[in-house]
Structure formats: C-alpha cells, structure tokens
Amino acid sequence: MSRPRPSAAKPRNAARGGRLSGEPAEIMQRINVSIDFDRRLYAQDIAGSLAHCAMLVARRIITPEDGEAIARGLEKIRAEIEAGRFPFRVEHEDIHLNIEARLGELIGPAAGRLHTARSRNDQVATDLRLWVRDAIDHLDRHMTLLQAALIDQAETHAATVMPGFTHLQTAQPVTFGHHLLAYVEMLGRDRGRLRDCRKRLNECPLGAGALAGTSFPIDRDKTAKALAFDQPMANSLDAVSDRDFALEFLAACAISGMHLSRFAEEIVLWLSPPFGFIRLSDSYTTGSSMMPQKRNPDAAELVRAKTGRFLGAFASLVTVMKGLPLAYSKDMQEDKVPVFEAADTLELCLAATAGMVRDIAVDKAAMRRAAAAGHSTATDLADWLTRNLALPFRDAHRIVGTLVKRAEEMGTSLADLPLKEMQTIEPRITAAAREVLTVEKSVASRASLGGTAPTLVAAAAKAARARFLEEKKENKKR
C-alpha cells in the first residue's frame, strides 16, 4: 500500500526522510527550527552549494545537465532572497532545507542530486566559516575607519596638553593626540587578532560528510579553492564538530568591545562638567525628559554597556561546546545567534565610536588647566634634581614629595611655590628648576620612544597612518 504524498500546503521536511513517518509535535518544531536566524547564511549556503555542484559535475558524479539546472536554480533562489520574495518555511527547519525545497520546486527531481556526498553537518560548518570570514573582513573595514578618525584628531591635537591619569588621579601632563593614539594601537591589535582568527578558520569542511567522509570520488581541493579556502580540513570528525573559529572570533570581539568601552568611559568623563574637556553635538547626545539643561552622552554609555553582550556571547557558546562528544550534536545549532549578535553589536559600536570621535570638539583651555593642577610636573622637578644635582632618583623623589606637601600647606601649586621655600628643603635648587614646571615643558621633555612630546606625537600619527591605513590600501591592490 503506497503512502499518501505530503500536501502542497504543508511540504514534507526532507530531513525526516523515510525513517520518520509522523509529524513533529508543535513544541518540537518550535525548539528545532532555526530558519528565523540562520537565514542570514543564505549567501554562504548558495556559494557552498554552487562549489559543491561544480565539483560533482567535474568528477562525473552528476551530469552536466543536472549541474546546469541546479546552478540556474540556485541563482534564481539567491535573487528571490535578495528581492525579499523567497518563501521561508518553518517546516523546512533551516536555511539548507529551505533552499533545497525551493530548488526542487524550481527544477524538479534534479535538485535531489545536489546533496550527493554532502551532509548538513559539513554544509553548515562551511557556511558558518564563510560567514565569519566575511564578518571579519567587514569589521576590519570599520576598525580602519575608527583608526582613521582617531589619527585625524591626534594630528590636530598633537600638542594639545591634557592631564594624564593613573588611578584616575592626575599623574603627568600628556597630549590629547598621544592619548588618542593609544586607542589606535589597541585597535591595531584587535585587527591583528581578527586576522589571526581568519587565517586559522580558512580551511574547508566541505566533503567531510556527516562525520566520516564519503564513498564518492569527490575533489575536496577543488571545492576548497572555489570557496577561497587555503585547503580542506584534514580530519572529517574535526571538520564537522569544530567551533574553535567561532569562539576565537567571539573572544576577539569581546576584547575589542572592551577597548571601545574604555574609550566610551573616557568620553563620558571628559564630557561631564567637572572635566569639561570636550563637547559633543546634538548628533551624539540626548536630552533629559525632566531636566532641560542636560546633555547626556548616551551613545558613549551604550557602547560602554554593550561589552556585556560580547562576554555573554562567548560564555554562551563555550558553555554549549564544553560537554559535547565528537562529532556533531544539535546543541551546535546554538552557535549562530551569539556569533551574529557579536558581529552586529561590534559593527554598531565601532560606527558609533567613529562618529563620536569625528564629532569631538576640544576645550583646550580646560584641558590645560586640568593638566597644570594636582602638581602634575612633580616628576619633572625630581628628574631635574637627579640630572643637575646628581642625586639618586629616590632621594630626589623624597625631596619633591616634601615640596608638594609644603605647597599644599601653603595653598599653592608646586609650580608657584616660592624659590626660597624650595631652598629651605633643598638649598641647591636654583631658579632654573622652576623652568621645568610648566606643562608645555613637561610634555616636550618626554621625547623617549613612544613618549608624549608633540614632535613625537605628530610623527607617531604619521607612522600610524602608514602602518594601519596605507597598509589597507596596499592589501586592496593585491
């Protein structure tokens, strides 16, 4: 007795095959489907299918006629998805089965030949690697734009003096340009981590099958090359069950998000009236529903807050993976949401931060006043004592500490402490010592490699532009 054919109104899920004859429970369907989020893999899934199809034809596993029909159908599906006309159906669970079902509707039985020598296990592993690779390239462009914004401001403010802090206490004067270039370096390392991740993930799982390879005479080198992978993955079990690349991507996103959060915190501080170092326009601030005078740095605060999303994404996936035996388990369907969310969130934070950097207007006078406060040039006086009086630095440090204490008792700054008062503590101090106590002299003297001297900052900005931005242009040419 033949079985009735599935109705057109409710297409049968190809993954249930002939083994399962009943329909899944409604709650089973709800927990099992992933099409709501993995539809984002459509471009990568189609690219992988086209490469697999071309290989099957080249190896005479399917006919050229079927191969042409499959390729034509896949291109039509791509166009439908990009035009918003594709009929995504939850009955087909995921992006792979949705595309396969639609292909069958378009070209008939030949569609079933596409899955020869392939499993959804190696298919999704390939798709996700391709997606993360694309995401890395996209995020790298956004990081480059942020670096460019920071370098532009650093060149403008190579000599703009501001206080440098340790423990959020005034430490020594630095320049605003020098401060911004610190974040350029952090972003450079963030880009390096993503490049390293990209290099390691760039091996092709396609052809690993469900877990053990295939009996068909496939050419894995051909599909790897067609998809711009460096080589096929060496072990079929590892190929379908590895998600190290996704974890590494999430870790790199988390570190970059942390860097953005630190900078966002500084924007919040600098914009507050007690600091008053910078201004942001209406484009990157909001008002208060009650207090009409307020200008709130909400963009910076939200960038600062979103670090939790990156950390949560990594914790989520590493928890999924930590107890899984080889090879594939359905648990791994949960790899995509944290990866998508981290990539989306990092792109948003990078764009918002770049916008704020370009929007910043600096109050140089406020920065200089703050840089001169808190006895910030005390170390310069200690250095002067060491150089000119041949004192051990620890002795000079103790003397200047005593001078700072005396200045505080007199209600003045170290720079304004009378010379006679200084000489009561160290008689050999001369008027020449007072010359090192201006913030301009202080920053100019920090001329060691990587220091804050304005000439060095200008040169460092130029060098950073060559290292991080011109390098990008060269890579594009290659």
Question: 159: helix, coil or strand?
Answer: coil
- CA geometry: angle 45, 49, 51, nearest 5 deg: 120
Active-site annotation holder among 2, 167, 289, 448: 167
For CA atoms 150, 153, 157, 160, the dihedral sign is negative
Least confident among 6-10, 73-77, 213-217, 430-434: 6-10
The percentage of the chain sitting over the pLDDT mark of 90, rounded to a whole number, equals 89
Min mean pLDDT across 33-42, 197-206, 468-477 is at: 468-477
Distance CA 55, CA 36 (A): 30
Two tokens, residue 455: 């000439």
Strands (E), 205-299: 231-232, 278-279
Beta bridge partners of 175: 161
Length of the chain as a residue count: 478
The mean pLDDT value of the chain amounts to 93
Q: How far is residue 229's CA from residue 204's CA, in Å, rounded to a whole number?
A: 6
Interatomic CA distance for residues 149 and 357, integer angstroms: 6
What integer pLDDT is reported at residue 476 of this predicted model? 55
Q: In the chain, what is the straight-line distance between the N-terminal and C-terminal CA atoms, in Å?
A: 64
C-alpha 72 chain-centroid distance: 36
Tokens of 29: 């369907």
Catalytic residue, candidates 272, 281, 283, 288: 288
SS3 361: strand
Q: Which residues pair with 296 in a beta bridge?
A: 286
β-pair type (231-232, 278-279): unpaired
**Distance between CA atoms of 417 and 403, rounded to whole angstroms?**
8
At 13 the three-state DSSP class reads coil
3-state secondary structure of 114: helix
Rounded distance between C-alpha atoms, residue 263 and residue 273, angstroms = 18
236 is catalytic: no
Cis peptide before 327 (omega within 30 of 0): yes
Burial of 225 (0-12, 13-18, 19+ CB in 10 A): middle
Under 8 Å between Cβ of 208 and 223 = no
Q: What's the CA gap between 334 and 343, in Å, rounded?
A: 15
pLDDT at position 7 is 38
Euclidean distance between CA atoms 448 and 262, whole angstroms: 26
Q: Cα separation of 238 and 122, whole Å? A: 10
User: Phi and psi for 296 in degrees, rounded to 5?
Assistant: -100, 135
**Residue 5: φ, ψ to 5°:** -75, 145
Residue 386 has pLDDT above 50, yes or no: yes
Judged by DSSP in three states, 340 sits in helix
Q: Which of 478, 132, 85 is nearest to 336 (CA)?
A: 132
Angstrom distance (rounded) from CA 380 to CA 116: 75
Q: What tens digit of pLDDT does each residue of 255-305 get?
A: 999 999 999 999 999 999 999 999 999 999 888 778 878 888 999 999 999
What does the pLDDT read at residue 3?
40
Q: What is the pLDDT of residue 23?
A: 76
**Of residues 32, 20, 24, the one with CA closest to residue 331:** 32
Please state the separation of Cα 329 from the chain's center in Å: 28
Residue 259 is a catalytic residue: no
User: Is residue 6 predicted with pLDDT exceeding 80?
Assistant: no
Q: What is the pLDDT of residues 79-125, one digit of tens each?
A: 999 999 999 999 999 999 999 999 999 999 999 999 999 999 999 99
pLDDT, tens digit, 9 for 90 and up, residues 389-427: 999 999 999 999 999 999 999 999 999 999 999 999 999
Burial 262-296 (b: 16+ CB within 10 A, else e): ebbebbbbbbeeebebbebeeebbeeeeeeeeebe
Give this prediction's pTM: 0.91
Q: What pLDDT is attached to residue 335?
A: 96
* The pLDDT value given to residue 27: 87
pLDDT for position 5: 40
At 336 the pLDDT is 96
Q: From residue 445, how far is each of 175, 380, 396 by CA, in Å?
A: 12, 9, 18
